[in-house]
Chains A and B, each alone.
Chain A
Amino acid sequence: MLAKRIIPCLDVKDGRVVKGVNFVNLRDAGDPVELAAIYDKEGADELVFLDISASVEGRATMIEVVRRTAGEITIPFTVGGGISSTDDMKRLLRAGADKIGINTAAIRNPDLIGEGSKIFGAQCIVVAIDAKFNSEWGEWEVFTHGGRNPTGIRALEWAKDAERRGAGELLLTSMDADGTKDGFDLELTAAVSGSVGIPVIASGGAGHAEHFVDVFAQGKADAGLAASIFHYKEVSVREVKDALRAQGVNVR
């Protein structure tokens, strides 16, 4: 049976990890490659790098980070952030990334999903969806630009559309849950996971190990992603896996 995946996410700016990193035995807390190698050893199933560089130089640096990471780790990793063309995808995949995450660019140009999928295969096209509950609609709305801009697009519709266009996986972030540490948005996750036939990575809201149990059991997620709780050592990947195993969830 397929194992549920635990995925730490690293925000990278100009080739350095930003946002809190509180690791012992880390010579350089800002080096994404070193941190990636530690998560690999800790039993992470995959990694996500989110490039938040705002400059061309910063993006060029990311290619080097990807190349070094690919030479260091033995698990798959996704790179997202600022990717808006198949040329961008090709550069990152050639450097050793396994999957490409697209978010705002996919909303702006939905054909990008199909183009990437056709050239590189559906398995490496991850469509990231930032969703927030819209009380007028009684369902979730898609936001872009790191959650700043509402799009007027319904998240469930967009998820299905992304699948139809060739996405191999969805990275679903609940903006309502993100940062709360109160747990994943189970309702949103279950609704999206139940609407598509491709894997869904749930993101936003993880505060402790039990939250991952919930997102798999009730949220029907295929993978759970978190950033700060892993970086700040509030909970380790190992502890999450132990908790999941104890609850009968299949993990590696």
Chain B
Amino acid sequence: MIAIIDYGMGNLHSVGKAVERLGAEALVTSSPEEILAADGAILPGVGAFGDAMANLRETGLESVVKEYAASGKPLLGICLGMQLLFDESEEHGTHTGLGLLPGKVVRFQGDYKVPHMGWNELVFTQESPLFSGLNPGHVYFVHSYHALPERKEDLLATTDYYQPVTAIVGRGSVYGMQFHPEKSGELGMALLNNFVKLVANKASNL
């Protein structure tokens, strides 16, 4: 069972459907008990960083996500959900994040179009179980802010948008994808499938 954490932000339906299409059970939930009991958890998110953290606090889910991450069961943040894993973001003022990964989230700055919207090619910067059996290709991004991980070893893949942009991060069992794997064709589904497998492996080893 994979919990899709519902804290009032984002398109939960698509993520849940995608997980189900991969043959895993998905449960869209805001219940701390259900989240903590799940074998894997996905933190989705569309919208503003500050609103998202405010929602996580109001619903009491901030501590639940942190507790979940500490349990060592796989957690995947998607899009804004990935950004929330970091220490802080400068989106509409400085906001504190979940602090599961050291680093911050900053706005794209330059003479180019923002949001970074559309299909861009991944570059795998190190090995990861998420990449098992896969070759890098295009995935679908849409974001105006991007994450700057403090530790190079947390960065698993980048893409190029006038600079190397953080695309996939991971440390221990905490993962994040800046793009939308559920909207990224075959490669997106394959990456999500590797996460689902990771969850299954972990669950059978516990």
Q: Do A2 and B120 touch across chains, with their CB atoms under 8 A apart? A: yes
**Known pairs A120-B46, A122-B144; A75 contacts B183 (CB<8 A):** yes
Is A145 part of the contact surface with B, judged by Cβ < 8 Å? no
The residues of B that contact A223 with a CB separation of less than 8 Å are 118
A-side residues, CB < 8 A to B, are 1-5, 40, 45, 67, 70-71, 74-76, 93-96, 98, 120-124, 168-169, 197-199, 222-223, 252
The 6 closest A-B pairs by CB, nearest first: A252-B138, A3-B119, A252-B119, A123-B142, A71-B17, A96-B13
Contact of A123 with B185 at beta-carbon distance under 8 Å, contacts A3-B138, A45-B119, A96-B14 already known: no
Given contacts A3-B118, A70-B14, 18 further A-B contacts (CB under 8 A): A4-B118, A70-B13, A70-B17, A74-B182, A74-B183, A74-B188, A74-B189, A76-B142, A93-B11, A94-B13, A96-B13, A122-B144, A123-B142, A123-B144, A124-B46, A168-B115, A169-B117, A199-B115
**B113 close to A198 (CB less than 8 A):** yes
User: Cα distance A169–B188 when bound, in Å?
Assistant: 23
- Complex Cα distance A71/B120, Å? 23
Describe B's contact surface by its main secondary structure. mixed
Nearest CB on B from A46, distance (A): 8
**A5, A94, A123 — which one has the most chain B CB atoms within 10 A of its CB?**
A123
In the complex, the answer to whether B46 meets A121 with C-beta atoms within 8 Å is: yes
Q: B140 → chain A, closest Cβ, in Å?
A: 6
Interface size class of B (residues with CB under 8 A): 20 to 34
Encoded as 1 (CB less than 8 Å from any A CB) or 0, chain B from 168 to 184 comes to 00000000000010111
Q: Taking CB as reference atom, which chain B residue is nearest A99?
A: B142
Within 8 A of A (CB), among B115-134: 115-121
Q: Does B47 contact A (CB under 8 A)?
A: yes
B119 touches A122 (CB 8 A): no
Q: Choose among B47, B142, B188 the residue that contacts A120 (Cβ–Cβ < 8 A).
A: B47
Residues of B within 8 A of A123 (CB): 46, 115, 117, 142-144
Can you list 5 A-B pairs with a CB-CB distance of less than 8 A? A1-B161, A2-B118, A2-B120, A123-B142, A123-B144
